[in-house]
Structure 1
Amino acid sequence: MTSVWLDRPRTIPIDPFTPGADFDTVVAGAGITGLATAALLARSGQRVAVLEARTVGAGTTGNTTAKLTLLQGTILSSLRRQYSQKMVNAYVEANREGQAWLLRFLEANGVPFQRRDAYTFAVTDDGADQVRSELEVARAAGLDVSGTTDSELPFSIRTAVRMPDQAQFNPMDVLEALAADLRAHGGMIVEGVRLLNVKQDERATVLTSGGNVSADRVVLATGIPVLDRGLYFAKLKASQSYAAALHVPASTPIPRGMYLSAETPGRSLRTFPTGNEELLVVGGNGHQVGREPSPKRRLDQLLNWGIHHFPGAEVTHTWSGEDYRATNLMPFFGKMPRGRGKIFFASGYNKWGMTNGIAASLAITADILDGQLPWADTIHRRITSPAGAASAIALNADVAKTLSESWAKAELAKPETGTRTVPPEGEGTVVRQGRKPVAVSTVDGVTCRVSAVCTHLGGLLSWNDAEKSWDCPLHGSRYSPTGEVLQGPTTKDLPVMD
């Protein structure tokens, strides 16, 4: 599957990797957080290199729905149940500054975007209660929101929160502009080189799949930190949700605003102007990575919902995105523990990376350049509430239970005694070679056999029949059929099994 954003010719120049090179800052990850941070630091005169393990935008940024809005579903009311209004206000201010910075950047660089009203809507009584709570907290945080029962949706709603004059865009347009800005100020972008570790002495030695480089500091903009210092993998839940672009006949009206449901399964809608038409982008139906028996069924349910409500719609693209939610709901950004002040990171945007990603970039840049942002100071001083602590305990108890159950299931997997297993096209299964679990899949006529054990913390992998990948149910690491790392906290490919 390829997102509608990534289905385009590549125009970003890529630099060669030179082992032994020296930089002021090395940024790992070429999504919106990594490229914005790198561009800001390069503007200050620093020598900056961005190392991307795959390709620019291949992670969350290139697979998002790309809404730049301060109305974010029911995030604010969820935060208010754990934190004071002051802390909620700091979150809003961070997102407001991130949104304002990015809009100025888009306008200054001629990057197309569309102004749209944003809505959080409800179709049930429980959802209506959530919407009313969101409206109350958003107003207390100073947002220009209002309640309404009107919408452009082709089905009835109970109520909605409306926030006018928000924005949407193609995220690859943004990444291309950020990359151009970075390169104009002397920065470089390298693809196909994965950060493996960082060793600190007077300076940092960055260990990568292509060799080592040196830097004064390192920024991890990898979705979830790929270094286990601080154990952030235990404080974040990996989720995967789905999206599709639909060509809708002119006779079927589509909503102009950006919509998101308060209930689950989530439903997201926005438009995407391309050529002489506007596609409709629908999203939702998320689940925890590696925990869904058939992700394809989740995608099919979303497609059926879209086609049902927009008769005659034709699917042009389907894709999925992986994101991370902090157990205490507040994003993480800043200095990484045990990093001697040389390693910075950002994670836990809870699907709102277009504003949170830029806010994190501004905060990290301020830390490095000795600046100060009051909202960042407030967020850094947060104290995890009892509810947040309980959520973390529950998450890790669930991880331990899943690990135990998956290995018990592996013991019952089909043993290979002579004839090798060859799954049907597009399918994958776990078999046993003695006591070793082996992940076997057939994609595009090629059968691959790799270890079924995640290289992060030993979770047993499950087959993703939508993305044709092997996914870990513990902390969200994902691998290609041939074993290459796609996303997650791991940095090691799966061993190939003969």
Structure 2
Amino acid sequence: MRDINQIPSEARSLWQEDRRIATYPPLDKDLIVDVVIVGGGITGLVSAYLLAKEGKKIALLEADSLLEGTTGYTTAKISSQHGPIYQEIMKIHGKEKAKLYYEANEEALNYIRKLQEEENIACDLTTEDAYLYTTNDKNLEILEKEEQAYNALGINGGEATAEVDLPYTVKKALVLRNQAQFDPVKFLQGLLPSIKNNGGWIFEHTRAVSVKGSDEPTVKTENGHKIKCKDVLVSSHFPFNDEQGAYFSRLHAQRSYSIAVKPVKTPPKGMYLAVDSPSRSLRQATDPNGEPLLLIGGQGHTAGKNDDSTFANYEALKNYGEEEFGIASIPYRWSAQDLVSLDHVPYIGQMVTGKKHVWVATGFAKWGMSNGLVAALLLKDLILEKENRYAALFDPTRTELKKGASSFIKENTDVAKELVKGKAHREDKTVDELERDEGSIVVHNGKKAGAYRDIAGNIHVIKPTCTHMGCDVEWNDAERSWDCPCHGSRFSHTGSVIEGPAVKSLKKMEE
């Protein structure tokens, strides 16, 4: 008998279901513009919107299709409540900068509301309270310290255990008032007409591979075309042009999972995030027919590293949903990759010292809907040479990063271990032993290889060495991709790049 709560075999987010987004051609000639924006997610598109309205001639380059990256695979909470983060930011940066972080994200949230109203965008934007909670006595101290941080910073929220709308016992909860949720794809596609009307160019399936020069940078694309400009804004999730900034060593890549379910019980009001492990994220949504959905997220782990089948993460979310809310069906499932900075604050600003016209925005952790807007607003001011009170806090070259040295050391020790482990790993499996829709490291023609047998029975064989720094990739059965455990690069089953920092495809081997 078929399980009516079967998890979909293909990953697709709720936000991708009702796409009516225009398509754009690849770049087919050399150009000269004011600003090149690399990356067609929330930071790139809002930056294009803002700069085009300021009269800048912009060209936005997207390696794949617009909104097919992390922005299109988010839980789409717009919130200044980013986990128990304020106690950590106060510890590293002090009270004044922690308050600036809160205010920057609140301004970003309000700017989304302003844009939605001005551009008359139907994007299911609703105001919600956001709750941070625990069901475990061991984590009470975390929330108690976070509550103290809320009080010290004057955050609009605080103790809210009694008002939590969940079907299980919560030991403590904090609320942050008047946050929001929306459909990010609908919101961002609502900005596209303005970008076009203000003379902006958008090019899809155009991968940028290098940036040369500083005062008048030139961006080169994979197909050999060049764009000369006055400023380059790199919002490609992981900076693709990481020759000097060593961002690979100060960003930690995490993968997390979401399912959208039709619940038996009424979905809880508000947005929820547990500080427990494994964490759980909850919010309401509606399907294309207006039926209520509950989005359940969690199961985060270091990208490319997973103790079990990656598909087991979806199973864990399903089991939680069935136990706590009941599930009538599971129409959608998806995952996303997030980048975390050393000190919990994104890197937004001049990418490296000495290159004053090359800008970067990365390290939003799981909070790109608010931090992505923070980045777009800040970078607009930096490019226009205007003062911005948040610039020092988010500066990628900030001195406070030294306080995150322990994270830096651990991250790069783990990378060294993965390099050794991958090269020493032996695999006895052969291509002939692969079932349909199965991928694995195998021995092929006497050599180590990565192989995937697709549903039709066709074999795809690649050299399992990441083209970024040489770590061995691992098979991700839930997304049918090859993932690097060192710095988070991801490749399709045929070897093409899905996620950076890698910019070159995996090498193919004879089948």
Determine if the TM-score, normalized by the shorter chain, exceeds 0.5: yes
Superposed counterparts of 1:124-139, under 5 Å: 124-139=136-151
2:418 is matched with 402
1:443 is matched with 454
1:11 is matched with 21
Report the residue type matching 1:269 in the other structure.
L
Report the residue type matching 1:76 in the other structure.
Y
- 1:438, distance to aligned residue in structure 2 (A): 1.3
- 1:166, distance to aligned residue in structure 2 (A): 1.0
1:109 is matched with 119
* Post-superposition CA distance 1:57-102 (Å, at most 9, x none): 1111001101111122212122223221112112112212211211
Superposed counterparts of 1:154-169, under 5 Å: 154-169=167-182
Give the Cα–Cα distance (whole angstroms) in 2 for the partners of residues 11 and 40 of structure 1.
Answer: 19
1:244 is matched with 259
SS in 2 for 1:391: helix
1:56 is matched with 66
* Post-superposition CA distance 1:210-265 (Å, at most 9, x none): 3222222211101111112210110000000000110123xx12102000001121
Report the residue type matching 1:103 in the other structure.
R
1:89 is matched with 99
Does the CA contact (< 8 Å) of 2:215 and 2:356 recur in 1? no
Give 1:214's match in structure 2, choosing from 215, 228, 252. 228
* Shift in alpha-carbon separation, 1:11–1:248, aligned structure 2, 3 A: same
- 1:377, distance to aligned residue in structure 2 (A): 2.6
Give the Cα–Cα distance (whole angstroms) in 2 for the partners of residues 309 and 110 of structure 1.
Answer: 37
1:317 is matched with 332
Give the Cα–Cα distance (whole angstroms) in 2 for the partners of residues 126 and 181 of structure 1.
Answer: 50
* Shift in alpha-carbon separation, 1:437–1:343, aligned structure 2, 3 A: farther
* Shift in alpha-carbon separation, 1:367–1:435, aligned structure 2, 3 A: farther
1:300 is matched with 315
Superposed counterparts of 1:28-427, under 5 Å: 28-111=38-121, 112=123, 113-150=125-162, 151-200=164-213, 203-210=216-223, 211-228=225-242, 229-249=244-264, 252-274=265-287, 275-293=289-307, 294-337=309-352, 340-380=355-395, 382-384=398-400, 387-409=403-425, 412-414=426-428, 420-421=431-432, 423-427=434-438
Does the CA contact (< 8 Å) of 1:437 and 1:453 recur in 2? no
Matched, 1:454 2:454: no
Does the CA contact (< 8 Å) of 1:422 and 1:442 recur in 2? no
Matched, 1:496 2:508: yes
Does the CA contact (< 8 Å) of 1:328 and 1:392 recur in 2? no
Does the CA contact (< 8 Å) of 2:26 and 2:205 recur in 1? no
Does the CA contact (< 8 Å) of 1:455 and 1:494 recur in 2? yes
Does the CA contact (< 8 Å) of 2:23 and 2:204 recur in 1? no
> What's the RMSD between the two structures over aligned residues?
1.8
Does the CA contact (< 8 Å) of 2:130 and 2:179 recur in 1? yes
Does the CA contact (< 8 Å) of 2:19 and 2:185 recur in 1? no
Superposed counterparts of 1:466-485, under 5 Å: 466-485=478-497
Aligned pair count reads: 491
SS in 2 for 1:253: coil
SS in 2 for 1:5: helix
Report the residue type matching 2:226 in the other structure.
N
Give the Cα–Cα distance (whole angstroms) in 2 for the partners of residues 297 and 196 of structure 1.
Answer: 35
2:3 is matched with none
* Post-superposition CA distance 1:336-375 (Å, at most 9, x none): 1166222111111111111111111111111110111112
Report the residue type matching 1:444 in the other structure.
I
* Shift in alpha-carbon separation, 1:128–1:299, aligned structure 2, 3 A: same
* Shift in alpha-carbon separation, 1:245–1:96, aligned structure 2, 3 A: same
Give the TM-score normalised by the residue count of structure 2: 0.92
- 1:385, distance to aligned residue in structure 2 (A): 6.0
Structure 2: which 5+ residue stretches go unaligned? 1-10
- 1:394, distance to aligned residue in structure 2 (A): 1.1
Give the Cα–Cα distance (whole angstroms) in 1 for the partners of residues 286 and 398 of structure 2.
Answer: 41
- 1:136, distance to aligned residue in structure 2 (A): 1.5
Does the CA contact (< 8 Å) of 2:150 and 2:158 recur in 1? no
Give the TM-score normalised by the residue count of structure 1: 0.95
Give the Cα–Cα distance (whole angstroms) in 2 for the partners of residues 337 and 376 of structure 1.
Answer: 14
SS in 2 for 1:366: helix
SS in 2 for 1:302: helix
- 1:391, distance to aligned residue in structure 2 (A): 1.1
- 1:201, distance to aligned residue in structure 2 (A): 6.3
* Shift in alpha-carbon separation, 1:54–1:339, aligned structure 2, 3 A: farther
The alignment-based identity, stated in percent, is 33
- 1:8, distance to aligned residue in structure 2 (A): 2.2
- 1:428, distance to aligned residue in structure 2 (A): 1.1
- 1:287, distance to aligned residue in structure 2 (A): 0.4
Give the Cα–Cα distance (whole angstroms) in 2 for the partners of residues 315 and 415 of structure 1.
Answer: 34
- List structure 1 runs of 4+ shifted beyond 6 angstroms: none
Which moved further from structure 2: 141-150 or 472-481? 141-150
Give 1:26's match in structure 2, choosing from 25, 36, 55. 36
Give the Cα–Cα distance (whole angstroms) in 1 for the partners of residues 77 and 363 of structure 2.
Answer: 17
